[in-house]
Amino acid sequence: MAEKLQNTTLDVLLKKKVLEKPEAGVFLPLLLLLIVIGFVNKNFFAVNNVIDILRSTSYTFIVAAPLTLLMICAGMDLSIGAATALGGVVCGWGLAVLHWAILPSIMLGLFSGFIIGLIKSFLVVRFDLPAFIITLGLTKIIDSFILVTTGGVAVSGLKNDAFKILGQGKLFGKVHWTILIAIVIGILMHVILVYTKFGRSLCAIGGNKETAKLAGIKVVKTRFLIETTVSVFCAFCGICMCSRFNSGQTAAGEGTELTIMAAVIIGGTSMFGGTGSILGSFLGCLLLAVINNGLVLMHVSTNWQNMIFGLILVVSLFIDKYRRSKNAGTV
């Protein structure tokens, strides 16, 4: 009897505290994974390994955080991978070929993202063309542009040690700068989403564009801004990678677009817009890194990586659906 009672309270607690949160779909599988991997391999929770995981999380999260806002606004972007590569290559080109200083080169890289963002916004927002196809087309165009201009060879010979700090430097000799940058970006995006007019407008537009328009929200302007922001942050991610590898990799970010979007969706952001959270997207990115890292530690072939990620993606949608149906019955 007593046991049964305890079970129910635990049950209620679990449902109240965890299952009702939008991040439940990612949190539970992540927790399970952490326990299993930690149990099998004691090195998993070693400080250096944790920092390693966070480091790879930071690169995806720098893109995923602004992308979350875009997807809440009912947008999508397949060109994030290409914009990342372009940002890195352009920045590297500024340093190695133009022999510009660090700051102007970084600005040049960001500017390339800005241009991509503008083109994308014009096509998707101004002319109201389907984002899926437009950004797919943009990806192909950018990829090819990079290959043509670089001949498919990474832009190397940066010869600039100070620039390396961005992607290789560590705070206290331990924590990589990109981790800290990603945290700052995450907090920034969270604040924008939850505490500003702009964030509220994004939710409204994603939830119901027509209602938002009739409530006097500047739909076109808001969408323009978020579309462009995403591309700029992609370019920034590319610049960080350029610094990390000390060269502008032509294939940086290739194939990451769908994975990052999946990470955002796993984190509880609706594919149809309206709701989502930055914390969820962070957990989604973390999950990706944990799978990668854990498999290596457990000596499992990395070929399994995508299967596990795919399974979790499917399971997380089930959890999300369950959560919604539970919530729908509450009032």
Partner 1 sequence: MDTLLLKMAHITKRFPGVLALDDVNIELNRGEILGICGENGAGKSTLMKILSGSYVSAEYDGNILIDNMPVKFDSVYDAQARGIEMVYQEMNMLLDSSVAENLFVGNLPGRNGFVDYRKLYQSARNLVKQAELDIDVKTIVRNLNSGQIQLLSLMRAVSKSPKILVLDEPTTALTGNEVDILMRILSTLREQGVSCLYISHKLEEIYRICNRVVVMRDGRTINTHDIKDVEKQILIEEMVGRKIENLYPKEQTEPGDEVLRVEHLTVPHPSIHGKNIVDDVSFTLHKGEILGIGGLVGAGRSECLGAVFGQYQKNVKKKVFINNKEVQIKNPLQAIQNGIGFITEERKLNGIVWMLSIKENMSLANLGKISNFFFINRKKEKELVQAQCSSLKIKAPDMETEVVHLSGGNQQKVILGKWLMANPCILFLDEPTKGIDVGTKADFYKIMSKLTKSGVSIIMVSSDMPELMSMSDRILVLAGGKINGELTRKAGNISETNIMKAAIGE
Query: Which parts of this chain interact with partner 1 (CB under 8 A)?
Result: 195-198, 200-201, 203-204, 207-208, 210-218, 270, 274-275, 327-328, 330-331
Closest approach, Cβ 312 to partner 1, in A, equals 24
- Maximum Cα–Cα distance across the chain: 77
Which residues contact residue 98 at a Cβ distance below 8 angstroms, ignoring those fewer than 6 apart? 105
Is 217 or 290 the residue whose CB approaches partner 1 more closely?
217
Is 92 or 273 the residue whose CB approaches partner 1 more closely?
273
Is 95 or 204 the residue whose CB approaches partner 1 more closely?
204
* Cβ count within 10 A of residue 44: 19
Is 302 or 327 the residue whose CB approaches partner 1 more closely?
327
Closest approach, Cβ 203 to partner 1, in A, equals 6
User: Distance between CA 67 and CA 64 in Å, rounded?
Assistant: 5
Is 22 or 94 the residue whose CB approaches partner 1 more closely?
22
Closest approach, Cβ 195 to partner 1, in A, equals 5
Helix (H) or strand (E) holding 110: helix 102-121
Residue 245's nearest CA partner among 181, 147, 163 is 163
* C-alpha distances out from residue 50 to 34, 46, 119, 147, 306, Å: 11, 6, 39, 35, 21
Residue with tokens 């010869």: 159
End-to-end Cα spacing for the chain: 30
Closest approach, Cβ 270 to partner 1, in A, equals 7
User: Distance between CA 34 and CA 289 in Å, rounded?
Assistant: 11
Is 74 or 154 the residue whose CB approaches partner 1 more closely?
74
Closest approach, Cβ 269 to partner 1, in A, equals 12
CB burial readout 214-241, b (16+ within 10 A) else e:
eeebebeebbbbbbbbbbbbbbbbbbbb
Based on its alpha-carbon atoms, the radius of gyration of the chain, rounded to whole angstroms, reads: 21
Is 29 or 206 the residue whose CB approaches partner 1 more closely?
206
Closest approach, Cβ 210 to partner 1, in A, equals 4
Closest approach, Cβ 205 to partner 1, in A, equals 9
Residue 298's nearest CA partner among 54, 29, 47, 38 is 38
